[in-house]
Amino acid sequence: MTELLNIKNVTYKLNLASILTTVSCTVPTGSIVGLLGANGAGKTTLMRIISGIAQGYHGSVAINGETRAADRKRLVSFSHQLDGANNRAHLGQIVHDYQTLYPDFDQSAYQQLADFLELDSKKRLGQLSKGNRKKFVIALTLARQVPLYLLDEPFDGIDGMSRKKIIASILKWKPDDATILISDHHVDDIANLLDAVIVLKDQKVVATAQADTIRQQGQSIEDYYENIYTGGEQHD
């Protein structure tokens, strides 16, 4: 399997505080990889670095061999939470803005996802419930046609049935060569989706494993994560 993402010795500080220390890992093309870790472990920060948003780190990040942040930005769709977006804007307007901003935005893919997730484009952003806002973010993120998707806690605040629906939408939509890095606190929610896991703890990657290897050892991914969380480092 070819490597889509290759992170080598990434170290990152913010206001003199260490956030990530010599983080190294790889993600194969076409895989769905869980980025697991407790609150504050650095998952969002690592995604911000991968996507080219966070600057000033040491080490290297390559997506399809591209290491410059400006080049990586074109190759990644990151699930921004629309924090800066105008709450009075209609969803249709925001979709239009995405089309203008991202030439790789696929309107028909968006429409399929939006229909499946029952999003109403006539609603204003501020009228959406927390869960529906998350669904909107997922549809916008997955509608871009890029090699790498970064989904940062896509299910936070979403009810169980909607979670199932979003997971179904990811599986239904996913082209074979699309690669997804997904973070979530509820490991059991995403366990069935995953081909591999990367665990962050104390600023470092403390474990990497193939999901099949974990299952062959008779463990659930949730148990594996709990063992790492309470124990030490483990690598395939």
Shortest distance (Å) from residue 200 CB to ligand ATP: 7
The answer to whether the CB of 152 falls within 8 A of the CB of 185 is: no
Please, which residue, 40 or 92, has the CB nearer to ligand ATP? 40
For residue 223, count other CB atoms closer than 10 A to its CB. 14
Nearer to ligand ATP, 105 or 154 (CB): 154
Token pair belonging to 60: 């290297």
Least Å from the CB of residue 39 to ligand ATP: 3
In this complex, which beta carbon is closest to ligand ATP, that of residue 153 or of residue 178? 153
CB of 42 to ligand ATP, least distance (A): 4
Closer to ligand ATP by Cβ: residue 37 or 147: 37
Cβ(47)–Cβ(181) below 8 Å: yes
The least distance separating ligand ATP from the CB of residue 14, rounded to whole angstroms, comes to: 4
Applying CB under 6 A, the residues found at the interface with ligand ATP are: 14-15, 17, 19, 37, 39-45
Q: Are 190 and 184 in contact (CB under 8 A)?
A: yes
d(CA 211, CA 220): 9
Beta bridge partners of 66: 63
